[in-house]
Amino acid sequence: MSMKITDPAQFGRVAVVMGGSSAEREVSLDSGRNVLAALQARGIDAHAIDGIPALLDALRAGHFARVFNILHGQHGGGEDGVLQGALESLNVPYTGSGVLGSALSMDKTRSKRVWQSLGLSTPKFVALPRGADVHAAARQVGFPLIVKPACEGSSVGVTRVFAEKDLDEAVKLAAKYPGDLLMETLIEGDELTVAILGRQVLPSIHIVPKAAFYDYNAKYVAEDTQYICPGLEGVAGEELGALSLAAFDALGCAGWGRVDVMRDHAGCNWLLEVNTAPGMTSHSLVPKAAAVAGIDYQELCWRVLETSFREGA
């Protein structure tokens, strides 16, 4: 649980860390600029820092009291547990999930293994270490399927594959990114996402892209993607919310995040992944869900920053 803060001075001097060196740098810079402006508008002494090395230098010099982490991705995009470990070692409070939740969520294959072990539904999958026999894996999973890097976000390197002839091209694209690959059954149906803020489950969003699926372009560039919020209501909405919170907790996540789910034509929900530092751009989903719940953008940023006060910390 995070504490409720009323006076901006209680936060001290806040570093909003953005940018970094991951594949999601540009999105993170966009998110960071928005967050910084919102915090400053609420009277918080917040400052932008680009990337982890600059942040750690500033923290060792004693310049900041806490960190609002809006880096996205891995390898210098502080969403994979590395930054969280550094901040723990320096005793600096920060927003969002800790080391374990961040690292587990970034690794989609291990996330899915945890959910499977708890009986939480996630599409059938095969982990693909470099050099694995992708055609044998595809026979195991069955078409249509999805090939993606196991540790990237923002739909980077993701391909929907409907026939064997397209498999090698999909693997080639995903293999441009570091780490292993993941192949999973393509669930056809509705794409939904559920934001979590503290212990509050925000209204779900049903994403309806103009294109075949919600790719990087639909997320950050296109203006014709529809967002229906709430995406599900009534009992179905409650079930989706409960599943999302269970998935979030199972990975040891905390503070805030976003759970992505596919709902098939039979009405079954399938867990895809958890984002522990979701986008906060003008196109982003968490601000849209928060707005429907009566939480404006500035208040949302304030409440995310509150997650840096952990009970007992």
**pLDDT value at 220 more than 60:** no
Assign residue 172 the CATH number of its domain.
Answer: 3.30.1490.20
Tell me, what DSSP letter sits at residue 256?
Answer: E
**pLDDT value at 160 more than 90:** no
- Alpha carbons 181 and 204: distance in angstroms, whole number: 28
159 and 212 belong to one structural domain: no
Quick one: pLDDT at residue 204?
A: 98
Per the CB < 8 A criterion, the answer to whether 68 and 16 are in contact is yes
Residue scoring higher pLDDT (1 or 24): 24
**Residue 180 domain-assigned?**
yes
**Residue 31 domain-assigned?**
yes
Which helix (H) or strand (E) segment is 127 a member of?
A: strand 125-128
Assign residue 226 the CATH number of its domain.
Answer: 3.30.470.20
Structure tokens at 103: 């690292």
- Alpha carbons 28 and 35: distance in angstroms, whole number: 10
196 and 237 belong to one structural domain: yes
**pLDDT value at 211 more than 60:** yes
110 and 252 belong to one structural domain: yes
Binding residues: 260, 273, 275
How much is the CA Rg of the chain, to the nearest whole Å? 19
Per the CB < 8 A criterion, the answer to whether 141 and 124 are in contact is yes
pLDDT digits (tens, 9 = 90+) for 43-68: 999 999 999 999 999 999 999 999 99
Quick one: pLDDT at residue 218?
A: 54
**pLDDT value at 23 more than 80:** no
Q: Give the confidence band of 293 by pLDDT, cuts at 50, 70, 90.
A: very high
Q: Give the confidence band of 72 by pLDDT, cuts at 50, 70, 90.
A: confident
Q: Give the confidence band of 2 by pLDDT, cuts at 50, 70, 90.
A: low
pTM of the model as a whole: 0.89
**Residue 220 domain-assigned?**
yes
Per the CB < 8 A criterion, the answer to whether 125 and 184 are in contact is yes
Where in the sequence is the domain holding 28, given as residue range(s)?
8-95
List, by residue number, the catalytic residues: 24, 154, 284
**pLDDT value at 216 more than 70:** no
Average pLDDT over residues 93-114: 94
Quick one: pLDDT at residue 121?
A: 96
pLDDT digits (tens, 9 = 90+) for 115-130: 999 999 999 999 888 7
Residues in Cβ contact with 271 at an 8 Å cutoff, skipping those fewer than 6 apart: 112, 115, 120, 121, 122, 243, 247, 259, 260, 261
194 and 276 belong to one structural domain: yes
Q: Give the confidence band of 174 by pLDDT, cuts at 50, 70, 90.
A: confident
- The total domain count for the chain is 3
Q: Of 36, 34, 32, whose CA–CA distance to 18 is shortest?
A: 32
Binding residues for Mg(2+): 260, 273, 275
Per the CB < 8 A criterion, the answer to whether 146 and 184 are in contact is yes
Assign residue 68 the CATH number of its domain.
Answer: 3.40.50.20
60, 68, 90 from 272: Cα distances, Å: 37, 26, 33
- How far, rounded to the nearest angstrom, does the alpha carbon of residue 273 sit from its chain's CA centroid? 8
pLDDT digits (tens, 9 = 90+) for 236-273: 999 999 999 999 999 999 999 999 999 999 999 999 99
Structure tokens at 114: 């945890």
- Alpha carbons 292 and 287: distance in angstroms, whole number: 9
147 and 246 belong to one structural domain: no
For 187-212, b/e burial (b = at least 16 CB within 10 A) is bebbbbbbbbbeeebbbbbbbebeee
Quick one: pLDDT at residue 209?
A: 77
**pLDDT value at 145 more than 50:** yes
Quick one: pLDDT at residue 222?
A: 59
Quick one: pLDDT at residue 241?
A: 98
Quick one: pLDDT at residue 221?
A: 61
Quick one: pLDDT at residue 217?
A: 58
Quick one: pLDDT at residue 82?
A: 92
